[in-house]
């Protein structure tokens, strides 16, 4: 298992490439790979394509040629996360248990655990899309294909090294096995593609494997700061404005875009009006801005819903993404993240489905396996209550 020593996964990166090659060479195991939403707009840079080029189809083709048995988009699990998270938010909103914090960034979780443990109860219990997908694929392979759990190797291509740490956390696993066995950063994937001698630019566009192929635009924008907030507000507004009652209200459709939560500003504090409801939201990226939000809450400011992504720009700016070598870093530092995020929003704007709860495969999953958002099985597979006060651990060091 890949291990990190830095609490936010920024200082030590243990590579998993050899372990993944070994699994791919083993005919006795089924190797499933998932790719985070941001990878499709950053991978191409390493092969000379302009920043923000969408290479979804070539990325899938490359992973197939590397030998992965199944190639899946984490965007699907992001849709699932949003449904679980929106219902959790609504439940806490109605119960007055606010503020509510997103939980898909492991470096943000570590910041809370080590420096602000009093806010642990405010964190969503939803695991990240990566961990949800790992648990779900192992469960469904076992239930439906009768594949023993130990025969399924779960690999994730992620934008950061902190995800390696997240995968190694004991609560992100079942029966002594991690939900995700190996996490490769985008840069590690680049190395594997090069080692295999694959001509990336010559690859055809190929679709993801059919299981869980359906993804909405809401699942895709997770890769940019504000994306989780916007995706959650889409489904939350659908419920709060009455559309969630099952009575389609064509006169008053729930809003799709919440542009005010997008963009590079490090901390956005906003009121979002959803009918009779006023929700005070905070969107922060970078740990300095995360601290500002927490300190504002400590000082008594009312904030209902907080999204924090530890990397500047969100996952498009993750520490495992391609480094724009040879360019003036200062000059491109804002632009390149902006261009990558724009590419995600462009994918979203061209999708027929842009609300996570409209994902037909997510709906099928609830009908046939999970029951309903927040069900007992959903909690067992998709949630965790394993966050801990780690301040005392820091004193022991």
318 binds ligand SF4 (CB under 6 A): yes
Binders of ligand SF4 among residues 76 to 105 (CB under 6 A) are 105
341 binds ligand SF4 (CB under 6 A): no
72, burial (CB in 10 Å: exposed 0-12, middle 13-18, buried 19+):
buried
Q: Which stretch binds ligand SF4 (CB under 6 A): 157-165, 232-240, 359-367, 368-376?
A: 157-165
- The smaller minimum CB distance to ligand SF4, of residues 44 and 320, is found at 320
43 binds ligand SF4 (CB under 6 A): no
Distance, in Å, from the CA atom of 329 to the CA atom of 46, rounded to the nearest integer, reads: 16
Among left, alpha and beta (phi > 0; psi -120 to 50; other), residue 313 is: left
Determine the longest span between alpha carbons in the chain, in angstroms. 60
To ligand SF4, the closest distance from the beta carbon of 100 in angstroms equals 18
Q: Which stretch binds ligand SF4 (CB under 6 A): 90-98, 275-283, 292-300, 314-322?
A: 314-322
To ligand SF4, the closest distance from the beta carbon of 387 in angstroms equals 15
Beta carbons of 314 and 225 less than 8 angstroms apart: yes
Binding ligand SF4 (rule: CB under 6 A), the pick from 162, 190, 192, 306 is: 162
- The smaller minimum CB distance to ligand SF4, of residues 306 and 309, is found at 309
204, burial (CB in 10 Å: exposed 0-12, middle 13-18, buried 19+):
exposed
Going by C-alpha positions, the residue among 29, 340, 344, 48 that lies closest to residue 217 is 344
Positions annotated as catalytic residues are: 85, 88, 104, 124, 163, 166, 171, 315
Going by C-alpha positions, the residue among 315, 361, 380, 389 that lies closest to residue 79 is 361
Residue nearest to ligand SF4 (CB): 318
Distance, in Å, from the CA atom of 108 to the CA atom of 231, rounded to the nearest integer, reads: 19
309 binds ligand SF4 (CB under 6 A): yes
72 binds ligand SF4 (CB under 6 A): no
160 binds ligand SF4 (CB under 6 A): yes
To ligand SF4, the closest distance from the beta carbon of 309 in angstroms equals 4
Torsion of CA 322, 326, 327, 328, to 10 degrees: 120
Compute the 3-state secondary structure of the chain and give helix, strand, coil in percent, each to the nearest 5.
50, 15, 35
- The smaller minimum CB distance to ligand SF4, of residues 7 and 159, is found at 159
37 binds ligand SF4 (CB under 6 A): no
Count of residues near ligand SF4 by CB under 6 A: 12
**Residues in the site for ligand SF4, rule: CB under 6 A?**
105, 107, 159-160, 162-163, 309-311, 314-315, 318
């Amino acid at each position: 298992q890949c291990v990190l020593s830095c609490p936010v996964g920024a200082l030590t990166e243990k590579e998993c490439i050899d372990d993944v090659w070994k699994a791919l060479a083993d005919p006795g195991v089924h190797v499933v790979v998932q790719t985070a939403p941001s990878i499709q707009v950053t991978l191409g840079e390493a092969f000379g394509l302009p920043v923000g080029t969408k290479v979804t189809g070539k990325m899938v083709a490359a992973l197939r040629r590397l030998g992965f048995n199944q190639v899946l988009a984490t965007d699907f699990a992001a849709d699932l996360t949003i449904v679980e998270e929106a219902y959790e938010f609504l439940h806490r909103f109605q119960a007055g248990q606010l503020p509510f914090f997103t939980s898909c960034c492991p470096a943000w979780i570590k910041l809370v655990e080590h420096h602000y443990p009093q806010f642990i109860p405010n964190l969503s219990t939803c695991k990240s899309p990566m961990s949800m997908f790992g648990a779900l694929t192992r469960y469904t392979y076992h239930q439906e294909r009768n594949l023993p759990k130990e025969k399924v190797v779960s690999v994730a291509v992620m934008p950061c090294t902190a995800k390696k740490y997240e995968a190694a956390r004991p609560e992100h696993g079942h029966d002594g096995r991690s939900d995700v066995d190996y996490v490769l950063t985008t840069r590690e994937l680049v190395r594997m593609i090069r080692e295999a001698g694959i001509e990336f630019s010559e690859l055809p566009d190929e679709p993801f494997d059919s299981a869980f192929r359906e993804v909405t635009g809401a699942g895709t924008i997770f890769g940019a700061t504000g994306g989780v907030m916007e995706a959650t507000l889409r489904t939350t507004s659908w419920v709060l404005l009455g559309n969630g009652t099952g009575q389609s209200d064509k006169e008053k459709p729930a809003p799709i875009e919440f542009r005010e939560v997008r963009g590079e500003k490090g901390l956005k504090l906003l009121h979002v009006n959803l009918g009779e409801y006023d929700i005070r939201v905070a969107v922060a990226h970078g740990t300095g801005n995360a601290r500002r939000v927490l300190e504002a809450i400590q000082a008594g400011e009312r904030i209902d819903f907080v999204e924090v992504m530890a990397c500047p720009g969100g996952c498009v700016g993750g520490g495992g993404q391609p480094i724009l070598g040879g360019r003036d870093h200062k000059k491109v530092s804002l632009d390149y993240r902006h261009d990558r995020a724009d590419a995600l929003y462009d994918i979203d704007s061209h999708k027929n489905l842009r609300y996570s709860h409209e994902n037909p495969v997510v709906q099928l999953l609830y009908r046939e396996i999970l029951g309903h958002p927040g069900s007992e099985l959903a909690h067992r597979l998709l949630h965790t209550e394993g966050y801990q006060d780690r301040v005392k651990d820091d004193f022991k060091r």
